């Protein structure tokens, strides 16, 4: 007599019923895993935009200007751009952690925290100017929202 290694029932009696249940479970899991892969890819693309926010924010925090009629130059310090750059780098770090936790299907709450830090970096990109917000911040917000929805739909696949 043969027994099923998954459920322990006799294979001769319930073989057809068992195989139909296994096939439907595989199809459902495949659809959910596709959503998590898409969410992870969107987070990693958002991370690429976020590193540019960090670089531009830190780079533009010191602005050098030159007054030709007086013959000297001076530096202007913008702390708000520096803060946006620091949050951009934090968004990069937490976004990588979030993308990895989405791919490995572990730590659901940490993946949502990482996406939240990405959102913070995207909103602070408005400090760098409207062009930086449209080019860098808006795509992060759109892709982050889609990846959050995909991750929350597939919440049951995560292990604590």
**Beta strands at 72-77 and 62-67: parallel, antiparallel or unpaired:** antiparallel
In this prediction, residue 33 carries a pLDDT of 75
Query: Per residue in 101-118, pLDDT tens?
Result: 998 888 889 999 999 999
pTM: 0.72
Residues 61 and 81 sit within 8 Å (Cβ to Cβ): yes
Query: Per residue in 61-114, pLDDT tens?
Result: 877 665 555 656 666 788 898 999 999 999 999 999 999 999 888 888 999 999
Q: Which residue did the predictor score with more confidence, 18 or 158?
A: 158
Whether 89 is covered by a domain: the verdict is yes
pLDDT of 24 above 60: no
* Mean pLDDT taken over the chain: 82
Query: Which domain range does residue 103 map to?
Result: 38-157
Whether 101 is covered by a domain: the verdict is yes
Whether 19 is covered by a domain: the verdict is no
In this prediction, residue 77 carries a pLDDT of 80
Whether 75 is covered by a domain: the verdict is yes
Whether 125 is covered by a domain: the verdict is yes
Task: Give the number of domains in the chain.
Answer: 1
Whether 109 is covered by a domain: the verdict is yes
**Hey, what's the torsion of the CAs at 160, 50, 34, 29, to 10 degrees?**
10
């Amino acid at each position: 007599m043969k027994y099923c290694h998954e459920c322990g029932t006799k294979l001769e009696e319930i073989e057809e019923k068992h195989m139909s249940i296994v096939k439907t479970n595989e199809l459902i899991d495949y659809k959910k895993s596709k959503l998590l892969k898409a969410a992870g890819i969107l987070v990693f693309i958002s991370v690429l935009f976020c590193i540019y926010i960090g670089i531009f924010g830190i780079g533009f925090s010191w602005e050098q200007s030159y007054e030709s009629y007086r013959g000297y130059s001076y530096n202007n310090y913008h702390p708000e751009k520096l803060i946006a750059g620091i949050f951009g780098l934090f968004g990069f770090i937490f976004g990588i952690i979030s993308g990895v936790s989405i791919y490995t299907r572990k730590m659901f709450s940490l993946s949502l925290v990482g996406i939240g830090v990405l959102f913070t970096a995207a909103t602070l990109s408005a400090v760098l100017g409207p062009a930086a917000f449209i080019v860098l911040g808006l795509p992060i917000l759109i892709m982050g929202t889609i990846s959050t929805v995909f991750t929350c739909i597939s919440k049951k696949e995560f292990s604590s």
